[in-house]
Structure 1
Amino acid sequence: MSNESNEYYKAYLREKQARDELETLLEDKTRSLYLANQELEANLAQLKRQHAAILQSEKMATLGVMSAGVAHEINNPLAYINGNIGTLGQVAKGVADLIKASESFSMNASDQDEFKETFTRLESQYQLCFFAEDAQDLIDDCRDGCQRIATIVASLLDFARPKNNEFVMADMTEAIDSALGLLANQLKHIELNVKKSDIPMSYCNLAALNQVIINLLMNAKYACEQAKSDGVCSAPAIELQIKEANEQIMINVMDNGTGIGQDTLEHIFEPFFTTKPVGQGTGMGLAVAYGIVSEHSGTINVESKEGEGTTVTISIPIKHTT
């Protein structure tokens, strides 16, 4: 073999060795990237589970704060249902006795005078004529009360149930209507002004937005009650608005409560930060709201002055697809 051929062969070997080393290095890097990607996916899945757990914990805490008002909301229809059922139960025996007397009279087992005497006695004892006029109203009241309770319970179960955090095309006004339905009793002593404009459907998570609205309204309610207790305002009021502006869905919650100091305002979105007494807040309400709004590519802004009230503005871009 000539020296020239030998040099070519050595060059070939060097090139092959370098190529083999590069392929080995590329394979190692690919394997490392794959393992790193697997780890990132696992961490992301864990973060999503933790996020869902935090959302659910905040829901349960909010539900606990709302429980007293919800119980009162259920007790109202229960009271008149029980009263109506008691009236219906008392009259039922009189109606049964009247039916027996009618059957006896129709079979000639008793004469007309005897039937009249029986009817007069039953009417005096059970006020059957009064019952005949009001029976349908009593039944309708019971039906309406049962429907009201069923609606409240269904709303509570829907709010408390863990969601899949699914985004769908929906009208965000539904989240406001659901929140107002759950908080009807909580807000009955506060002047509530709701302004709803027609808005387009948007790709959103209604269940999560419902939680945001509930958190904001509960905060506004607490601030208003504190302001009234401290003598800052005599007529607590909350205004809730939803409208479209510049391809954004704008949701505003305004109150004339105690307001928030500048030092406190800087920390309101921090997890577990709260100015409420123990048992009245977890410090996660605004942190959760911030996370949910961010998931919708939106922004949440809070403007407040001590003694003058607070305005929370949420801006969410309208999305027609994922």
Structure 2
Amino acid sequence: MKIKNIFSFIDKISFTYKTSILLFIIIGGMILIIILSQISIYTVKHDFDILFEKRTKPIIKLEAIKDAYVVNIHDTLHDVYHKNITLEQSYDVLNLGKQLIEKNWNKYLEITFSKEYETSLVTKIIKKFFIIGIPDKNKILQNSIISNINDKNKNIEVIVNEIISELSNKNYDAASSLIEHVNIEINTISIYITNLTNYDLKMAISERKDTQNVFNTLSMILNISIVWVFLFSIILSIVIIIHFKRLHFGLEEAVNEKTKELQALNDSLEKRIQNEVAGSRKKDLIMFQQSRLASLGEMIANIAHQWRQPLGSLMMIVQGIQTKMELGKLTPEIVEEKVNDAILLANNMSNTLEDFKSFFKPNRDEEEFSLKDCIKNSFELSKYVLDKEKIEFHLKILHDVKIHGFYNELSHVFLNIITNSKDALISKEHKRLIEITVKKSKNKIRINIVDNGGGINAKVLPHIFEPYYTTKYKSAGTGIGLYMSKQIIEKHMLGTIDCKNVYYKIANQNFENCTLFTITIPANKGDKNND
């Protein structure tokens, strides 16, 4: 009944207004969809940038403070007490340590409490209305730890001055007691700083989840907007069609009343055509919806698959820093190296979103790049997991090869195959090896990737490139990695990829049941067509 009333109301509107409203809904809807999509992209990018600035950089500052206490305060007092350095030399070192600690601590407080690193307005609105995120219950604990560190800083400064005074008066017994007291205070500060580091890491994980939820909410709003624009466009289109029909029927009856039988036949035929058109339109809508959902599902699955390896490597970096810190082997050089590696992985994860966003678009720009650099980059992203599992990597390439194509997509192919090799090698007790060999002929480039992980079951081998086919647990594999790799090589690189079990020589050792992936791509994109 309500639908009839709506159609009756719309039918009373003049034809000119109906047409104007339809154009307004279509144009306005498209503009709204574009604005929402741009807001979604900006919001996610902005929040990820804030997440890095607010949570990652403070951890670096905290580690620098710990190093300054150990190297500039603890070690210097030890050296001056044992007369390895003079009191005059210790003044400079202690003052430098004090400056470094004060600079990094002030920077940490500035980043932590600055309003500059807040999430975007869109994110705040969505979190408020959709109740996304949990309030930070540990804020009081963080403030308490910061207050304790401030007190310890002042206390250590006073004790250090007393130590220097006692050493100047050659009162070594009193100085020794004060040095032990300083060491205890430094250890206490190290514990406080570790707690702050853990707090920032937990908040980084929580805020990343919130950002993902915000992105999902924006996507839902965007989809709802698309549906509403589509529905209103259909309704007004139907009303306009009905208007044309009525005008058509009225004119035809006025012009030719004597052709009623023919008109009845035409009406019947027109109704059948309308039913067929409506049925065809319904089928098209269903197919469009299925295609859109399939593409969206595949994109999300691909992103999840490609993030699995970098996230594992990031976890290894954090654990490595913690282990070296516990062993007392953490140096600024190691911290800088680990931070650079983590930044590389984070940038790769960010690029993955854009790479898979345009994965099925044929009109992307290709580029010329070094195949050797592409392979090394893939192993660089996996090196922490490979090192952990004691897997050796060997690359054999006489001369670097420049190819024209999609760098990131080819890197994803190598990363997928490396991940599968790693999973196969984990359970093996013998020496674990992965080797890549690149050979270039006149028109083709052949890339062989082989591991000594025991090969692939003969029943499984024919199905490895099928989508969602996996022999791993669901938590460890999605079954789309090799399928995606095949799509990239065949459709985007105009090449071929196959796999087989072979007897192979790796690092001057012979192994049975090795898994060999062979990728063949044309040296020039036009070569495949010529072949």
Instruction: Confirm or deny a common fold (TM above 0.5).
Output: yes
Q: What pairs up with 1:83-232 in 2 under 5 angstroms? A: 139-163=332-356, 164-165=358-359, 166=364, 167-188=366-387, 189-228=390-429
Deviation per CA, 1:103-131: give whole Å up to 9, x if none.
xxxxxxxxxxxxxxxxxxxxxxxxxxxxx
Q: Identify the match of residue 69 of structure 1 among 303, 306, 313.
A: 313
Q: Secondary structure at the match of 1:311?
A: strand
Aligned amino acid, residue 194 of structure 1: L
Determine if contact 2:464/2:482 at 8 Å carries over to the other structure: yes
Task: Supply the distance in 1 between the matched residues of 2:459 and 2:294 (Cα, whole angstroms).
Answer: 30
Aligned amino acid, residue 515 of structure 2: T
Task: Supply the distance in 2 between the matched residues of 1:153 and 1:73 (Cα, whole angstroms).
Answer: 12
Q: Within the alignment, does 1:286 sit opposite 2:482 as a pair?
A: yes
Q: Identify the match of residue 277 of structure 1 among 449, 468, 473.
A: 473
Q: Identify the match of residue 318 of structure 1 among 523, 526, 529.
A: 523
> 1:269 Cα shift?
1.1
Q: Secondary structure at the match of 1:272?
A: coil
Structure 1 unaligned regions, length at least 5: 1-39, 85-136, 229-233
Tell me which residue corresponds to 1:57. 301
Determine if contact 1:301/1:312 at 8 Å carries over to the other structure: yes
Task: Supply the distance in 1 between the matched residues of 2:446 and 2:292 (Cα, whole angstroms).
Answer: 27
> 1:315 Cα shift?
0.3
> 1:200 Cα shift?
3.7
Tell me which residue corresponds to 1:251. 447
Q: Secondary structure at the match of 2:486?
A: helix
More deviation, 183-192/244-253: 244-253
> 1:158 Cα shift?
2.6
Aligned amino acid, residue 224 of structure 1: L
> 1:277 Cα shift?
2.0
Deviation per CA, 1:224-279: give whole Å up to 9, x if none.
12333xxxxx1111112233223222221101112112221111111111111221
Deviation per CA, 1:68-95: give whole Å up to 9, x if none.
33311244346668999xxxxxxxxxxx
Aligned amino acid, residue 154 of structure 1: N
Deviation per CA, 1:166-193: give whole Å up to 9, x if none.
3222223332122111101111111211
Task: Supply the distance in 2 between the matched residues of 1:267 and 1:83 (Cα, whole angstroms).
Answer: 47
Q: Secondary structure at the match of 2:427?
A: helix
Aligned amino acid, residue 347 of structure 2: A
Tell me which residue corresponds to 2:496. 299
> 1:280 Cα shift?
1.2
Q: What pairs up with 1:225-244 in 2 under 5 angstroms? A: 225-228=426-429, 234-244=430-440
Q: What pairs up with 1:18-37 in 2 under 5 angstroms? A: none
Task: Supply the distance in 2 between the matched residues of 1:207 and 1:178 (Cα, whole angstroms).
Answer: 10
Tell me which residue corresponds to 1:107. none
Tell me which residue corresponds to 1:11. none
Relative distance call for 1:190 and 1:251 in structure 2 (3 A) is same
- Report percent identity of matched pairs: 21
Q: Secondary structure at the match of 1:215?
A: helix
Aligned amino acid, residue 424 of structure 2: A
Normalising by the residue count of structure 1, what TM-score does the alignment of the two structures yield?
0.59
Task: Supply the distance in 1 between the matched residues of 2:524 and 2:291 (Cα, whole angstroms).
Answer: 25
Determine if contact 2:455/2:501 at 8 Å carries over to the other structure: yes
Relative distance call for 1:261 and 1:142 in structure 2 (3 A) is closer
Which structure has more relative contact order (CA 8 Å, sep 6+)? It is 1
Q: Secondary structure at the match of 2:344?
A: helix
Task: Supply the distance in 2 between the matched residues of 1:52 and 1:170 (Cα, whole angstroms).
Answer: 29
Relative distance call for 1:203 and 1:304 in structure 2 (3 A) is same
Task: Supply the distance in 1 between the matched residues of 2:525 and 2:489 (Cα, whole angstroms).
Answer: 17
Task: Supply the distance in 2 between the matched residues of 1:74 and 1:241 (Cα, whole angstroms).
Answer: 32
> 1:64 Cα shift?
2.4
Task: Supply the distance in 2 between the matched residues of 1:146 and 1:82 (Cα, whole angstroms).
Answer: 18
More deviation, 64-73/235-244: 64-73
Determine if contact 1:80/1:142 at 8 Å carries over to the other structure: no
Determine if contact 2:310/2:345 at 8 Å carries over to the other structure: no
Normalising by the residue count of structure 2, what TM-score does the alignment of the two structures yield?
0.38
Relative distance call for 1:174 and 1:59 in structure 2 (3 A) is farther
Structure 2 unaligned regions, length at least 5: 1-283, 504-511
Task: Supply the distance in 2 between the matched residues of 1:309 and 1:282 (Cα, whole angstroms).
Answer: 23
Tell me which residue corresponds to 2:456. 260
Determine if contact 1:199/1:244 at 8 Å carries over to the other structure: no
Aligned amino acid, residue 308 of structure 1: N
Tell me which residue corresponds to 1:88. none
Task: Supply the distance in 2 between the matched residues of 1:214 and 1:236 (Cα, whole angstroms).
Answer: 17
Pairs aligned (count): 227
